[in-house]
Amino acid sequence: RTSKRTIYTAGRPPWYSETGAPVDEAFVIGLCGGSASGKTTVATRIIEALDVPWVVLLSMDSFYKVLDEGQQALAARSDYNFDHPDAFDFELLVSVLRKLKKGKSVKVPVYDFTTHSRRREWKTVYGANVIVFEGILAFANKELLKLLDMKVFVDTDSDIRLVRRLQAALASAHQGQPLPKTLSVLENTPQVRGMHTIIRNKDTTRDEFIFYSKRLMRLLIEHALSFLPLKSVTVETPQGTMYEGKRFHRQRITGVSILRAGETMEQALTAVCKDIRLGKILIQTNHDTGEPELHYLRLPKEISEDYVILMDSTVSTGAAAMMAVRVLLDHDVQEDRIFLLSLLMAEMGVHSVAYAFPRVRIITTAVDKRINEEFHIIPGIGEGVLRPATALRGL
């Protein structure tokens, strides 16, 4: 379903007219291009733009050959070339596409890239008015070319394709990896779990969201302070007895918020730390390049020896947090004296920050496993920083 119409990609289309005569053959569009060139995106745009009721998208990736033991060993060492024509079963591919073009239903294999074999369950694909066929070697077979009514080559610069592949690889590189040792998550007590339930609920009122977010932030700040260096001291009580206690060593603490969402945590910090100095960093994403950019910076003087509590309400990819840490390092703040605090983090952001800055202490109340295509944490607490920032600003 698109924004304007519903397109059916499964089911039984009208293969025959009202007189019983076969309808015309399907129109086949072939899309070819290198890996990560954007073939799937182009195919999706074509499907959305077509004003036809029945469209089939057929991917060449379904027609890789089953590897024998020798080829399996090569693939395990990353020595098997999956981009060579010999890696594809063109005979089966041509047969399937020819039947689809005639309006007949076909069985399409489901390729398992983990075992390099075909699964037992093949999916049924029915004939359609238009068939969009895409693959890296869609134009490499003469018999296949004869079936294509239109040929489109998606020409994308090799540097861009490499960046896309690297981004995809890096996005999943942390999966299955243990969380870094520099991460500290607030103990998930029933109280903490209950407050998370409230602030994550879309039906929670603004007042409730503010109240319970502030409670969580206060607990987070208190938890973070426990990692500061303390020295043993002895004090005299009003009763004249001696008490063995702890006191924060004389280094100063500075709070730095990443605008705009990080500013919401300042009130909790100032409520816990008396006479603390505050700084602000504004980092925004350039929509053309997708990279974070520094727009505003105000830091207290002489912070190189301070312990810096860096605050952001949520950390998804970690891009803004890493730039903020880099700014602090440029002002001679010691890496092991930077504490990154966030109400909620995604695993991807945690791993990114920890990999780039292994001595930065990362502290949060919860870590969610994934982010969506818009880089929002899932399940999260709202649309990016918008919900916490707008709800808590000025309070």
| Beta carbons within 8 Å of 202's beta carbon, 6+ residues apart | none
- At residue 167, the pLDDT reads 67
d(CA 360, CA 325): 9
What are the CA-CA distances from residue 24 to residues 28, 31, 361 (Å)?
A: 12, 22, 66
**What whole-number distance in Å separates Cα of residue 170 and Cα of residue 163?**
10
* Domains of the chain from N-terminus onward: 27-173 (3.40.50.300), 183-392 (3.40.50.2020)
Residue 384 has a pLDDT of 39
Write out residues in the chain with pLDDT < 50, as ranges: 8-9, 11-13, 384-386, 393-395
The model scores a pTM over 0.85: no
Q: Token digits for 188?
A: 């998930």
In total, the chain counts a number of residues equal to 395
pLDDT tens per residue, range 70-93: 998 898 888 899 989 999 999 999
Parallel/antiparallel/unpaired status of strands 183-185 and 344-346: unpaired
Omega before 165 within 30 of 0, i.e. cis:
no
Cross-strand pairs, 279: 256
pLDDT for res 17:
54
Which pLDDT value is given to residue 38?
Answer: 87
pLDDT score for 199: 92
Per-residue model confidence (pLDDT) at position 169: 65
pLDDT for 21: 57
- By CB neighbour count within 10 A (0-12 exposed, 13-18 middle, 19+ buried), where does 360 fall? buried
